Amino acid sequence: MSQQFTFEDVSKHNKPGDIWVVIDAKVYDLSRFSDMHPGGLSVLLDEEVAGQDATEAFYGLHRAEVLERPQYKRLQIGVIAGEQSVITGIVPGKISKVPYAEPSWLVEGYHSPYYTENHRKFQKAMRQFVDENIYPEAQVKEEDGTRVSQELVDKMSALNIHAMRMGPGKHLKGLALMGGLVKPEEFDYFHELILTQEITRCGARGYGDGLLSGKVIGLPPVLTFGSEELKARVVPEVLQGKKFICLAISEAHAGSDVMGLQTTAVKSEDGKEWIINGSKKWITNGTFSDYFTVGCKTEDGFTVILVERGPGVETKPIKTSYSASAGTAYITFDNARAPIGNTLGEEGGGIFVMLSNFNHERWVMCCGSARGQRAIVEECMKWSAQRKAFGKPLNSLAIIRAKLAGTQSWLENVTYQMCNMSYRQQAAKLVGQIAFLKAYATSCAQETAADAVQIFGGRGITRTGMGRFIEHYHRTVAFDALLGGAEDVLRDLGVRQALRVMPKGSRL
The residues that touch ligand HEM, with contacts defined as CB under 6 A, are 21, 28, 30, 37-39, 43-44, 49, 54, 57-58, 61-63, 66, 72, 75, 464-465
Q: In what order do the strands lie in the sheet with 14-15?
A: 3-5, 76-80, 26-29, 18-23, 14-15
Q: Give the C-alpha separation, 352 to 358, whole Å.
A: 10
**Phi, psi values for residue 471, rounded to 5°:** -60, -45
Closer of 406 and 465 to ligand HEM (Cβ): 465
CA distance 443 to 437: 10
Are the C-beta atoms of 430 and 418 separated by less than 8 Å? yes
> Are the C-beta atoms of 43 and 35 separated by less than 8 Å?
no
Nearer to ligand HEM, 41 or 351 (CB): 41
**CB closer to ligand HEM out of 61 and 95:** 61
Pick between residue 21 and residue 178 the one whose CB is nearest to ligand HEM. Answer: 21
Q: Which is nearer to ligand HEM, 34 or 213 (CB)?
A: 34
Q: Do residues 67 and 45 lie in contact, with contact meaning Cβ atoms separated by under 8 Å?
A: no
- Smallest distance from ligand HEM to CB 462, Å: 7
**Which helix (H) or strand (E) element contains residue 190?**
helix 189-200
Our CB check for ligand HEM shows the closer of 420 and 454 to be 454
Q: Between helices 189-200 and 395-419, what is the axis angle to 10°?
A: 150
What interhelical angle do 468-482 and 350-386 show, nearest 10?
160
Q: What is the DSSP code (8-state) at residue 152? A: H
Rounded Cα distance, 187 and 493, in Å? 30
Nearer to ligand HEM, 66 or 399 (CB): 66
H or E segment at 210?
helix 205-210
**Taking the complex as a whole, how short is the minimal distance between the CB of residue 425 and ligand HEM, in angstroms?**
50
Indicate the residue among 66 and 355 with the shorter CB distance to ligand HEM: 66
Q: How far apart are CA 358 and CA 220, in angstroms?
A: 10
Please report how close the Cβ of residue 468 comes to ligand HEM at its closest, in angstroms. 8
Smallest separation, CB 75 to ligand HEM (Å)? 5
The CA angle 407-126-237, to the nearest 5 degrees, is: 105
Collapsing DSSP states into helix, strand and coil, what is residue 353? helix
Q: Least separation, in Å, of the C-beta of 77 and ligand HEM?
A: 11
CB of 137 to ligand HEM, least distance (A): 20
Enter the DSSP assignment of 147.
P
Q: How far is the CB of 70 from ligand HEM (least distance, A)?
A: 11
CB of 87 to ligand HEM, least distance (A): 13
Tell me whether residue 42 or residue 116 sits nearer to ligand HEM (CB atom): 42
The minimum distance between CB 26 and ligand HEM, in angstroms, equals 9
Q: Which residue's C-beta sits nearest to ligand HEM?
A: 39
Residue 314 phi, psi (nearest 5): -130, 140
